[in-house]
Amino acid sequence: MFPAKVYSERRAKLRKELSKGLVLFLGNQDSAFNYPANTYSFRQDSSFLYFFGLDHPDLAGVIDLDNGTDHVFGNDLDINDIIWMGKQPTIKEQALNVGVDNTAPLKELSVLIKDALEKGRMIHFLPPYRGETTLWLSDLLDLHHLKLREHASIELIKGVIKLRMVKDDLEIDEIEKMINVAWLMHTTAMKMAKPGVVEQEIAGVIEGIALSHGGPVSFPVILSINGQTLHNHYHGNTLSEGRMLVIDAGCESDLHYASDITRTVPVGGKFTQRQKEIYEVVLKANLAATGAVKIGVPFREIHLLAATEIVKGLKALGLMKGDVKEAVNKGAHTLFFPHGLGHPMGLDVHDLEGLGEIFVGYDNEVIRSKEFGLAFLRFGRKLQKNFVMTIEPGIYFIPELIDSWKNENKMAEFINYDKVETYKDFGGIRIEDDILVTDNGARVLGKPIPKTVEEVEKTMKS
């Protein structure tokens, strides 16, 4: 946990973003895995962690905007709990560690909220995303669970996004530590990527590396020789010569800050000419995008710059044709690069996404597109100092998408379908780093993870 004053200051800053009433943060509860007592590993809600820091189930935090007090609600363990869980600090002791003096048992929370409702006080809450929290909130507010999202406080959502998007040094340090663990996960995977190995053997080892450094993986490991499927969580294929292996994996720190890195490597350790050509295009898009990061530049522009590099490269290889700018404007690149360039990262691997991408990634100046491809860009608005973003361009040959476009003769002025046909067995390539927006542009965070063709081949041989 960070020093208590970090949490007190965050709550003080949040107060300045809001006008009146109560701010209610419900912590997460345990969720049943296959029967009530066998639960998933506990993961605290990220906004609760940010403002109240406590990493246990069944807690709530309240900020009273009207009288200036902060409260933690939770129950101390009784002897029956202690038999199973051991002695734990009291709620009072825990709350003091995050700068909160006022504590009360959970049943007092219902009393406070009921009283506030009767007095017509504003109760700010974030949209819930878990079943248990949804039901808890619904009971507390006496509001049907299907109505909760529409009653969530826009003022609070915007305030939380404003604060959490800008990372301080402590947070950046946590993120970098996890990128350094990702370095070990990725270089280990590179060395294991030999013909005859089954994907799950590598996925298991790298997930173990994450766990052995404290936290779990920050999202289910994506590791596949079928990297053309963007989020492929199937790990049953056997690696064979000639395939590329996409490894998209990161981990969480003890305090739950994430890393999210993708590398793509040739099975066996040596790129073929065809693999190298496509890889170099993706790498160029990755470097160009990173080089274009600047305070005040809309991330959508950087996404389109990466798309331009991809079209230029594919045109040079004879897979695309025509005017590059026009191809990007019309979205022809989305046959090969159908997703967004990146997303914010922090306490959530897709930071703050649960509060609504429309609030996190867009504003009055940059409106979310509805076009295929650009619509998947999770974040389009202007970058600010100390935002942490992923930069993750890719090129994928998705046979079903190629067939579908080809049957419609879609964008035929920009796509050489005959040549593209010969790449249907290629798979996909994605190269992803986590960057910090600084006064000077972008800083690629963490220990450099092999990225050029030479670096990847050298690591795989070692």
Residues in contact with ligand GLY by the rule CB under 6 A: 219, 248, 260
The C-alpha angle 355, 231, 414, rounded to 5 degrees, equals 100
Report phi then psi at 2, rounded to 5: -75, 170
Min CB(140)–ligand GLY separation in Å: 32
CA dihedral defined by 186, 192, 193, 198, rounded to 10 degrees?
Answer: -110
Min CB(233)–ligand GLY separation in Å: 10
Token pair for residue 410?
């879609």
Q: Which residues face 123 on adjacent strands? A: 22
Given the complex with ligand GLY, which of 219 and 362 has the nearer CB atom?
219
Radius of gyration of the chain (CA): 24
Given the complex with ligand GLY, which of 55 and 260 has the nearer CB atom?
260
Min CB(271)–ligand GLY separation in Å: 23
Given the complex with ligand GLY, which of 11 and 451 has the nearer CB atom?
451
Given the complex with ligand GLY, which of 156 and 258 has the nearer CB atom?
258
Given the complex with ligand GLY, which of 171 and 260 has the nearer CB atom?
260
At 398, which helix (H) or strand (E)? none
Q: Which residues face 244 on adjacent strands? A: 266
The C-alpha angle 355, 231, 227, rounded to 5 degrees, equals 150
User: Is 349 in contact with 434 (CB distance < 8 Å)?
Assistant: no
Given the complex with ligand GLY, which of 70 and 248 has the nearer CB atom?
248
Min CB(220)–ligand GLY separation in Å: 9
User: Is 124 in contact with 21 (CB distance < 8 Å)?
Assistant: yes
Min CB(392)–ligand GLY separation in Å: 7
The C-alpha angle 310, 315, 316, rounded to 5 degrees, equals 100
Pairing of strands 222-224, 244-249: antiparallel
Given the complex with ligand GLY, which of 62 and 182 has the nearer CB atom?
182
Min CB(219)–ligand GLY separation in Å: 5
User: Is 382 in contact with 298 (CB distance < 8 Å)?
Assistant: yes
Min CB(248)–ligand GLY separation in Å: 5
Min CB(343)–ligand GLY separation in Å: 6
Given the complex with ligand GLY, which of 219 and 387 has the nearer CB atom?
219
Mapping DSSP to helix (H, G, I), strand (E, B) and coil, where does residue 94 land?
helix
The angle, 0 to 180 degrees and rounded to 10, between the axes of the packed helices 131-141 and 106-118 is 50
Q: Which among 125, 127, 96, 104 has a CA at the least distance from the CA of 7?
A: 96
